[in-house]
Amino acid sequence: MAGPRLLGPTLDLGQLDWQAMAMSVDWMSDKQWRGTRAPLVESTGLHPDAYTDDAFFQLEQERLFERSWVCVGVASEVADGERMLVRKVGSRSIVITRDGTGNFHGFVNSCRHRGTELAETDCDINNTIRCPYHRWTYSLDGNLIATPLFDEVPRPGFDKADFSLIPVRVETWGPLLFACMASDTPALSTWLGDLPERMAGYRLDEWVLREQQEVEIAANWKLITENFQEYYHLRWVHPELSKVSRVADHYRYQGPGMYCGQTTTPVSDDDRGDWLAMPARPGLDESDGCSGRFVALFPNVMLSVLPNHIFLMRLEPVAPGVTRETCTFLLPPESGEVSGEAFESTRTFWLEVNDEDINIVQRSQRGLTAGHISPGPLAPRFEEPLHRFQNMVADMVTLDSLNDLKVPIGDTNDEAARLGTAANPTPPAIDLPTSTLRSGSIRASGADPT
Ligand code: FES
Ligand SMILES: [Fe+2]
Alpha carbon of residue 208 to chain centroid: 19
Burial of 41 (0-12, 13-18, 19+ CB in 10 A): exposed
Which ligand is nearest the CA of 238, by number?
A: 2
Q: 114: Cβ below 6 Å to ligand 1?
A: yes
Answer yes or no: is pLDDT of 122 > 70: yes
Whole-number percent of the chain with pLDDT over 70: 82
CB contact at 8 A, 385 and 229: yes
Q: Which of 127, 156, 173 is the C-terminal boundary of a domain? A: 173
Residue nearest to atom 3 of ligand 1 (CA): 134
pTM reported for the whole predicted model: 0.87
Range of the domain at 100: 70-173
Residues 158 and 222 in one domain: no
- Residue to substitute in 107, 131, 145 for testing ligand 1 pocket (most ligand atoms within 8 angstroms of CB): 131
Domain shared by 224 and 371, yes or no? yes
CA dist list (Å): 146 to 104, 159, 436: 22, 11, 61
116 lines ligand 1 (CB under 6 A): yes
Question: What pLDDT does residue 414 have?
Answer: 44
pLDDT in tens, 28-66: 999 999 999 999 999 999 999 999 999 999 999 999 999
Distance 344 CA to ligand 1 centre (A): 46
Does residue 435 surpass a pLDDT of 70? no
- Ligand 2 center from residue 229 Cα (angstroms): 9
Q: What is the pLDDT of residue 23?
A: 54
Q: Are residues 152 and 272 in the same domain?
A: no
Query: Domain ends where: 125, 155, 173?
Result: 173
Whether residue 341 is found in the same domain as residue 408: yes
Question: Taking a C-beta distance cutoff of 8 angstroms, is the pair 98, 80 a contact?
Answer: yes
What is the rounded CA–CA span in Å between residue 440 and residue 406? Answer: 41
Is 25 among the domain residues?
Answer: no
Q: Which amino acid is at 269?
A: D
Residue 115 alpha carbon, nearest atom of ligand 1: 1
Q: At what angle do helices 384-398 and 221-229 cross, to 10 degrees?
A: 150
Stated as kind and residue range, the H or E segment containing 87 is strand 83-89
Start-to-end Cα distance in the chain: 48
448 in a structural domain: no
Residue 28 lies in a domain: no
Instruction: Give the whole-angstrom CA distance, residue 171 versus residue 148.
Output: 33
Distance 300 CA to ligand 2 centre (A): 17
Q: Is 287 in the pocket of ligand 1 (CB under 6 A)?
A: no
Q: For residue range 231-249, list pLDDT tens digits in order.
A: 889 889 987 666 545 666 7
Q: Which residue has the higher pLDDT, 412 or 175?
A: 175
385-397 pLDDT, tens digit per residue, is 999 999 999 999 9
- Model confidence pLDDT, tens digit, residues 317-368: 999 999 999 999 999 998 776 778 889 988 998 999 999 999 999 999 999 9
Indicate whether 132 pLDDT > 90.
Answer: yes
CB 146 near ligand 1, within 6 Å: no
Same domain, 169 and 296: no
**The total number of structural domains that make up the chain:** 2
Closest ligand to residue 234's CA: 2
The secondary structure of 144-212 as a DSSP string is EEE-TTGGGS--TT--GGGGPPPEEEEEEETTEEEEE--SSSPPHHHHHTTHHHHTGGG-GGG-EEEEE
Distance separating alpha carbons of residues 119 and 44, to the nearest angstrom? 43
Q: Enumerate the β-bridge partners of residue 215.
A: 325
Residue 98 to residue 106: CA distance in whole angstroms: 9
Q: What is the CATH number of the domain that holds 141?
A: 2.102.10.10
* 111 close to ligand 1 (CB < 6 Angstrom): yes
Chain mean pLDDT for the chain = 85
Flag whether 56 is in a domain.
no
43 lies in a domain? no
Could you give the count of Cα atoms lying within 13 Å of 249 in the half-sphere of its Cβ?
26
